[in-house]
Amino acid sequence: MKLKYLILLVMPILVSACKHNSVTISGKLEKPVRGEYVVLSEIGPLSLKPVDSVKLDSDGRFSFKREVAMPTFFVLRTTRQSFITLLLEPGDKLSLSADYNSLNLPESVTGSDGSRKMLEYNKVLKSTIDKIRGLSDVYSQNADSKNLPSVMRTIDSTAGVYVKELNSYTKKYIDDNIKSMVSVVALYQVVAPRVYVMSPAEDMPWFLKVDSSMMKLYPNSVTIKAFHEQIQTLIEQVSREKGKQALEAPGAEAPEIELPSPSGSMIKLSSTRGKYVLVDFWASWCGPCRKENPNLVKAYNLYKNKGFQIFQVSLDKTREDWVKGIEQDNLSQWIHVSDLKYWNSMVVPLYKIESIPFNLLLDKDGRVLASNLRGEKLQSTLAEILK
């Protein structure tokens, strides 16, 4: 859900620098390591390309000059852990003061509005991350307590408040900087692995307004072109996911399926009305599906006399493999259908299937009761419904 090159922008960020399509980056590093290099790299749509390097002397001073036609992202690095992301525009004259081992926490940055704004956001981001990390101390203090479940709920709730506050701040930050590429960076910030501040599903209006603004301002930027393509992908993913959620929502009516059985006769899903039906999508080539099949056999034997049916749809490629899988796993007692078109099966887009095994439990009217029931979850759900 993110641009590859933006992984770098999610990390602690910073600064930049001249007019007439040139920028300068200079600075002084405290505690420099004599003879080591400061490396400047340019961030492209799919790569981080080193473009220059300077060997430090004892006083820790360095300077770079680059030609840029439009706002450009750079990374300034001293060590693997010590680096800072810069947004430089034509005419910027960036001056940086920082510790050699902590470029991401500079003492001062001047001469680059874009880099300054990134630093401004990064301070708020770091504050939120520090507060969330502080909650781990609360967990440690209560790890052996009988009240740990209650403490965990409080920790989760508090962390949620912190993220929500940062989400609100980020939206305002984007609105205030909608004409700057810093708004692109703000969309992809994280507070923990895979925990994003902005969610495409919930915050799509901000993704769209940034995309619209950037395409108007910088239509020829390879970075913005790549960003625009990613937004189009996000739109499709969000639309598909919302459709899938609607399909799996309790009360949703399962779309009709009419496909051939192994004998060649056409069977409709609607022919099972009046029974509780597990619509299960599988294939003989799917290892996890085959491992789950014994659980289906167990469920069917327990509840077949209580109004329970299984309507199993295969994504197999050949009839031979399909029938062999049915026989080997002892599945012949319930309904089987397939058009033998693998992932090109008509049920894949109809049920928005992204992986198998996948199933839906339907009531007697063909409406969804639950989804993705496997193992003991399937057994306990059926036990509750078919007491």
pLDDT of residue 4: 41
Same domain for 31 and 18, yes or no, is yes
Q: How many CB atoms lie within 10 A of CB 376?
A: 10
Q: What pLDDT is recorded for position 44? A: 84
C-alpha to C-alpha distance for 276 and 369, rounded to whole angstroms: 9
Q: 3-state DSSP call for residue 5? A: coil
The residue among 115, 131, 157 that closes a domain is: 115
1 within domain boundaries: no
Determine, yes or no, domain membership for 146: yes
DSSP at 197: S
Predicted confidence at residue 20, as pLDDT, reads 61
Domains in the chain: how many in total?
3
Residue 274 sits in the same domain as residue 295: yes
What CATH number does residue 321 fall under? 3.40.30.10
Q: In this structure, is residue 342 part of a structural domain?
A: yes
Residue ending a domain, among 89, 115, 141, is 115
Say which residues have a Cβ less than 8 Å from residue 27's Cβ, sequence separation at least 6: 61, 62, 63, 94, 95, 96, 97, 98
In a shared domain, residues 78 and 163: no
Rounded distance, CA 78 to CA 76, Å? 7
- Would you give the end-to-end CA distance of the chain in angstroms? 43
3-class state of residue 154 by DSSP: helix
Residue pair 352/243 in contact (Cβ under 8 Å)? The answer is yes
Q: Are residues 233 and 166 in the same domain?
A: yes
**DSSP letters along 69-120, please?**
SS-EEEEEESSSS-EEEEEE-TT-EEEEEEETTBTTS-SEEES-HHHHHHHH
- pTM of the entire structure? 0.66
Question: Which residues span the domain enclosing 105?
Answer: 6-115
Q: Other CB atoms closer than 10 Å to residue 272's CB: what's the count?
A: 20
List all residues 6 or more positions away from 364 whose beta carbon is below 8 Å from its beta carbon.
Answer: 273, 274, 275, 276, 307
The predicted pLDDT at position 68 comes to 92
Residue 130, pLDDT score:
94
Tokens of residue 66, six digits? 């680059």
The answer to whether residues 350 and 343 touch, using CB atoms and an 8 Å cutoff, is no
Tally the C-alpha atoms within 13 A of residue 242's C-alpha that lie toward its C-beta: 10
Residues 13 and 124 reside in one and the same domain = no
Quick one: 209 and 97 in the same domain? Answer: no
Look at residue 90 and tell me if it is in a domain.
yes
Cβ contact 323:262 at 8 Å? yes
- Statement to judge: residues 230 and 125 lie in one domain: yes
Could you tell me the sign of the dihedral formed by the alpha carbons of 196, 205, 1, 253, in that order? Answer: positive
Same domain, 56 and 155: no
Mean pLDDT, contiguous 10-residue spans, the chain (387 residues): 40 39 92 90 88 89 93 94 94 94 92 95 95 87 81 89 96 96 95 90 93 94 92 85 83 94 96 96 95 96 95 97 97 97 93 92 95 92 89
Does the bond joining 255 to the residue before it have cis omega, within 30 degrees of 0?
no
CATH classification of the domain holding 104: 2.60.40.1120
